[in-house]
Structure 1
Amino acid sequence: MFQPNMFESHHHLLDMSHKSPENDLDLLRDNDEFESKSMADIMENNPSGDDQEADPNQRPNKKKRYHRHTQLQIQEMESFFKECPHPDDKQRKELGKRLGLEPLQVKFWFQNKRTQMKAQHERHENSELRAENEKLRADNIRYKEALGNATCPNCGGPASIGEMSFDEQHLRIENARLREEIDRISGIAAKYVGKPMLTYPNLPIGPTRSLDIGVGSFGPQTGLVGEMYSAGDLLRSVSGPIDADKPMIIELAVAAMEELVRMAQTGEPLWITGPGPDNSMETLCEEEYVRTFPRGIGPKSLGLTTEASRESAVVIMNHINLVEILMDVNQWTNVFAGLVSRALTLDVLSTGVAGNYNGALQVMTAEFQVPSPLVPTRENYFVRYCKHHTDGTWAVVDVSLDNLRPSSVSHGRRRPSGCLIQELPNGYSKVTWIEHVEVDDRGVHNIYRPLVNSGLAFGAKRWVATLDRQCERLASAMANNIPTGDIGVITSPEGRKSMLKLAERLVMSFCAGVGASTAHTWTTLSGSGADDVRVMTRKSIDDPGRPPGIVLSAATSFWLPVPPKRVFDFLRDENSRSEWDILSNGGLVQEMAHIANGRDPGNCVSLLRVNSGNSSQSNMLILQESSTDSTGSYVIYAPVDIVAMNVVLSGGDPDYVALLPSGFAILPDGGGGIDVGTRGSLLTVAFQILVDSVPTAKLSLGSVATVNSLIKCTVERIKTAVACDNA
């Protein structure tokens, strides 16, 4: 059990070390010069000529005479002292002969000099000892207050230590650290006051739990545990129910944090650069990883493939906002919508201390996706831990908790993955991202297998590229003035922000419905190979962002022998829209509003008007967002009501504008590694259509046939257009 009073029993020892040896200090009268007794006085009081000092209680027979050394003599003896503080008889005789002093005068000068040095050293050590003692007293008082104010989470009454299963691990770690400090200080005290060194046995907190549980080696020597927040702060930050798994989760999170930091800061041979012409992709050398982390975070899972990559970038966002995005599950899902199809925080073990996320610990579940129904999502159950290190760097790490769910069959596992965030001037941050997973990819379609195997589908490069692009988008959304590149009917900053907010929901809705999530049940309609059309239905009720009724989603993915950039430029260009967009009915498409939200010209939000010859489609408006980075591109659009868009353009609330997004996800085929322009493209086409406005209606076969025909016709038009363009 943690003992708040464990310091008080040895305070008397520490207090004794505060006293300076005054009898020794009385021998010194000057810090720069020493006085030696005359030869007659020395022989009178010490006829034997040895090192015995005169009895201080003996009354002298006559007044002592002193000899003051010259400056030259002092300088020579000081110089000799630096080389040899304990000269022998021969050295004393030679030095005395050279300086015109008797050997005993030299001997006493060196004795006095050693006494002075010892006294100075003791004063310095005593000063440090007092500071350490005061620090321990303050910690002791703080811990007693924290423990005295703790309450039972069940009844609200005073809690005993045995009830605080959540804190037992942290208190035990604190005890280990404080025990080391006590032993060190006791050793210092014993050195100068002649007392034996005190040692303290391990002080367990409730049921003991070994640190060596296969989750890696960690301790105060790493610099990480020493940075853990204090027990008092931890007690005040507890949120959520207490259960028996939490001490193990804490151990796992701390070990994962240590491994993540070491992997982020270690270069070759742990990380291997390549492939690609610029050798910019870093992948993990598994043999070196085993040597560097011989125990690791648990054994490797049988039958699973290991993927590990690292990527760094400078992004236009300050470190505090980045940490908030990563620790807020809603913001995290929104920013990484193309990678995270679903996410949920199951339990918050700690909200952090000092008003920020330092020390925050939360148990989560998430599905990671590639935007195609041909690539199964990767579902993980993990703990996320945030830490602010003493060098100013923030780190956020994930590690799987699948071993705490014995009934589950693991198809994937997150080894320590996450990022280090370093603050840079002018609101920028440097992000170093690590993705280290074990996965079962047997369900991946053959045309996506090269992309997944290259590490580009789920790896660190895609996370960092997405974050960089989204940071640019958020910076654009927060701009108060309308950039000169924006054109059209947007006349106010409020209207610009409302349109960007609406486009954000457009992208999120598309990405959430295009992957092979376990929340969706796709049905293959017809055909064979990668051109199979997959459909699913859902009911939309009381959702202000979607029209009520039965919504049919249809998607297919296929390979194109055209580089991704050429496909992206073709699909986002309003001038070529009539070549593939059946709904535009061959009409002229005009861009009425344009918001640039990134360095690449392809990153923008547009409001398009279709001037069709068909009176029923006259002046139809289309909201579209296009985005691209080094790992993939999107063109997402949805028809919008003219009246509702006028409200948005004037700065009104965009949440009640109904959207049914359709669009395209364009990825490299993986054949060229990270050189995305050397091979072909993987294109996913997805539509959402309201097939019945009555939510209780049943889906008709005619509706399925219609959407099947629509998507296949669109695919054929795109293939024909890009083939002609590539010829």
Structure 2
Amino acid sequence: MFHSNLFDTQHHVLDMTPISPENELGKIREDDYETRSGTETMEAPSGEDQDPNQRAKRKRYHRHTQLQIQEMENFFKECPHPDDKQRKELSRELGLEPLQVKFWFQNKRTQMKAQHERHENAVLKAENEKLRLENNRYKEALSNATCPNCGGPAALGEMSFDEQHLRIENARLKEEIDRISGIAAKYVGKPLSSYSHLSPLVPSRSLGLGVGNFGAQTGFVGEMYAGGNDLFRSFSGPTEADKPMIVELAVAAMEELIRMAQAGDPLWVSNDNSTEILNEEEYLRTFPRGIGPKPLGLKSEASRESVVVIMNHINLVEILMDVKRWSTVFCGIVSRAMTLEVLSTGVAGNYNGALQVMTAEFQVPSPLVPTRENYFVRYCKQHADGTWAVVDVSLDNLRSPGPLSRSRRRPSGCLIQELPNGYSKVVWVEHVEVDDRAVHNIYKPVVNSGLAFGAKRWVATLDRQCERLASSMANNIPAGDLCVITSTEGRKSMLKLAERMVMSFCTGVGASTAHAWTTLSATGSDDVRVMTRKSMDDPGRPPGIVLSAATSFWIPVPTKRVFDFLRDENSRNEWDILSNGGLVQEMAHIANGRDPGNCVSLLRVNSANSSQSNMLILQESCSDSTGSYVIYAPVDIVAMNVVLSGGDPDYVALLPSGFAILPGGPGLNSGGILEVGSGGSLLTVAFQILVDSIPTAKLSLGSVATVNNLIKCTVERIKAAVMCEST
């Protein structure tokens, strides 16, 4: 018997089309269905018996034997969608025509679909009834609320905490009812209008803090994060005609992701470095259809990694399905991201079955590596064993004719398994097809190895960010070190400010299509790229003309040595021109990971220059197996005192600068020939400087020359210092 590893359950996202009355199989008797074939023919009279005015009579249905039905039922359990070869073999075994077998399976799938819809509809109606009764109970409690002082009707500002909580809960229930009504409309063809009269008793704008992240996400369409003001070129949401194809593609991608994540040899083969490599021939045999053949000019990149992280599986799913949080956690990889349309929000108050059409831009922190821009659907599902899966797959084939994409995502994503004590196991699969010919020569080895965009970088970043989040939530901080910030609110505010600083640095250092880089010099790998930005009403940036400059180069020094040198305040005066050789002292720090170098620090520069005396620097340093960052920004002393007291950090103006360090790159052997794997570092240096405090001012050539000289001088100092240490 043939076997196909299909879903043991089919989620509601497969059944988004309303059922018409003529297709409702609930009205067909079960015994008629089980004894009739799907084939029917027309019987026409012959010879002189034929009456031209008489319509052809319909022949009676052919009745299958119980043995035929039982065999097809058994086959259906294993494979609901037999192909032509399977149908022909089954027809020979049962003595039926292949067309009869085909129609029987079609009818059986339709019946199963109708039964599934009736069950889902009953569940939804029961949930709606429960919410309606609970909502009425809250309404009754609120209508009887009285002022504790005068005994009269309570105004909003005079309510007790419990009564205000009832109002917030009422609004949440209304939102749940609207959501379930929308889902029910997809099944029964009309909304549950009987509940439409329910409305929150308090204006929704006053309940912003009472609505969970999931509720806020359901209404989120098309908001930009981590990028410029352009609309990601001309991306738009899918048409109505595209949506059924998107659903079908997402479900097929989910099946492929699960098999890719769980398969071993021969699909994945380990090389000498214990790195898993995809067997392309085996992949094409296992998934012959996929999303279509690989376009000319694109090459395949596939990788798989697993990690155990200190985060609950539900929280991980919420991060992946919220585009803002996803962009923040993976800001070193995701330079820009946007949700174009939410096709399904899931059921039962979580993301099970959620379906989103998105666009995102993926980067390496260097202006020398082009970004990878993808238009894709993201599908989330909880499986029978409790494992959650989130999969992405490109939708390029659905877009109108235009320029061919330089990158597309075959089914990629992760499986998340719950572990004890709030931990989760994550298996990540990254499978793309890309044209990387525009990558600069010094970055080609690290890109070709899969380290730049592959699964290892995703899981390493996730692991480090989970540690960072756990640190921000820690309460028991030892007070032995005077530099350690023990105040919980102060820690959270300082970490939030550092997070914004890191995001601003990462989104401004890569070759994003939102940036217009200009090359100032032509000296090989030391080219300096510059761009300008106008900052006017952003409270997180000082107003005026901001100039960003970045350059990348290779040095034959291990990444850990470069990282330790740049993050150490005692060696800062060796490369930081702005410190004027002054003594740099750490005033406070927050550890945020296992690596001792992963921390957020507040530094004081004791410079002889009176204009820079007592200047403070906020710095975050972080490192994992795929790369390291040292990012810093000058901060105002008064503003930092507010932050350390637990105040709002969003209005502290920042212009971050810093370094991104990746392992690998070309090296020189004894013969002076470039070779790979020499243990060097790819270092990106980036500065942001306010060159004029008036936003309408024009950038002068003198300002550009000053920044160019500043970054060149910094590069020379770093090279001299680390090369001297390494000898």
What TM-score results when the alignment is normalised by the length of structure 1? 0.69
Q: In 2, Cα distance between the equivalents of 1:361 and 1:312? A: 24
1:568 equivalent in alignment to 2:563: yes
- Larger CA deviation: 401-410 vs 418-427: 401-410
Q: How far 1:670 sits from its partner (Å)?
A: 4.5
Aligned positions of 1:665-704 closer than 5 A = 665-670=660-665, 679-704=679-704
Distance in structure 2 (CA, Å) of the matches to 1:487 and 1:357: 44
Deviations 1:363-392 (A, max 9, x none): 000000000000000000000000000110
Whole-angstrom distance in 2 between the partners of 1:489 and 1:6: 68
Task: Give per-residue Cα distances to partners, 1:238-260, cap 9 Å, x unaligned.
Answer: 99897111000000000000000
For 2:92, the equivalent position in structure 1 comes to none
Q: Is contact 1:375–1:444 with CA below 8 Å preserved after alignment? A: yes
1:235-634 residue pairs with structure 2 within 5 A?
243-276=240-273, 279=274, 281-405=275-399, 406-483=401-478, 487-488=482-483, 490-634=485-629
Contact 1:627 1:634 (8 Å CA) reproduced: yes
The whole-number CA distance in structure 2 between the counterparts of 1:141 and 1:389 is 18
Offset of residue 666 of structure 1: 0.2
**Which residue does 1:718 correspond to in 2?**
718
Cα offset, 1:13, TM superposition: 7.8
How many corresponding residue pairs? 525
Matched position secondary structure for 2:247: helix
SS of alignment partner, residue 365 of structure 1? strand
In structure 1, the residue corresponding to 2:29 is in which secondary structure?
helix
The 3 A distance-change label for structure 1 pair 411 and 487 is farther
Pair member with larger Rg: 1
Q: Is the 8 A contact 2:304 2:430 kept in 1?
A: yes
Q: Deviations along 1:158-203, whole A, 9 cap, x unmatched?
A: xxxxx999959x99xxxxxxxxxxxxxxxxxxxxxxxxxxxxxxxx
- Cα pair 1:283 1:309 within 8 Å, conserved: yes
Structure 1 runs, 4 residues or longer, greater than 3 Å off:
1-5, 11-15, 133-147, 163-168, 237-242, 483-487
For the 8 Å contact 2:461–2:624, the answer to whether it is kept is: yes
Deviations 1:203-228 (Å, cap 9, x if unpaired)? xxxxxxxxxxxxxxxxxxxxxxxxxx
Whether 2:26 is the aligned partner of 1:7: answer yes
Change (3 A) 1:649 1:364: same
Change (3 A) 1:716 1:251: same
How far apart are residue 534 of structure 1 and its match? 0.6
Instruction: Describe the SS at the equivalent of 2:404.
Output: coil
The structure 2 residue matched to 1:140, chosen from 118, 124, 130, is 118
Question: SS of the residue aligned with 2:539?
Answer: coil
1:589-616, Cα deviation, whole Å (9 max, x unpaired): 1000011000000100000001111111
Q: Distance in 2 between matches of 1:305 and 1:487?
A: 54
**1:474: Cα distance to partner?**
0.5
> 1:646 and 1:145 mapped to 2: Cα distance?
54
C-alpha distance in structure 2 between counterparts of 1:683 and 1:361, whole Å: 38
Give the match for residue 708 of structure 1: 708
Alignment match, 2:13: none
- Structure 2, gaps ≥5 residues long: 1-18, 35-110, 129-181, 190-217, 222-236, 668-675
CA–CA distance in structure 2, aligned partners of residues 698 and 238 of structure 1: 41
**Structure 1 gap ranges (5+):** 16-132, 151-162, 172-236
Distance 1:285 1:609, change over 3 A: same
| C-alpha RMSD of the superposition | 3.0
Q: Identity percentage over the alignment?
A: 78
Contact 1:333 1:341 in 2 (8 A): yes
The structural deviation recorded for 1:540 is 0.5
Are the aligned partners of 1:368 and 1:378 in contact in 2 as well (CA < 8 Å)?
Answer: yes
- Give the SS at the match of 2:684: strand
In structure 2, what is the equivalent of residue 59 of structure 1?
A: none
On the 8 A contact 2:665/2:677 being kept in 1, the answer is: no
Aligned to 1:488, what secondary structure does the other structure show?
coil
Contact 1:564–1:677 under 8 Å retained in 2: no
CA distance in 1, matches of 2:116, 2:277: 47
Q: Is the 8 A contact 2:554 2:665 kept in 1?
A: no
* Structure 2 counterparts to residues 148-167 of structure 1, below 5 A: none
SS at match of 2:714: helix
Checking the alignment, whether the CA contact within 8 Å between 1:387 and 1:395 is kept in structure 2 is yes
Give how far 1:409 is off: 2.0
Question: Residue type of the partner of 2:29?
Answer: H
Amino acid in the other structure paired with 2:118 = N
TM-score (norm 2): 0.69
Structure 1 residues 137 and 499: CA distance shift in structure 2, 3 A: closer
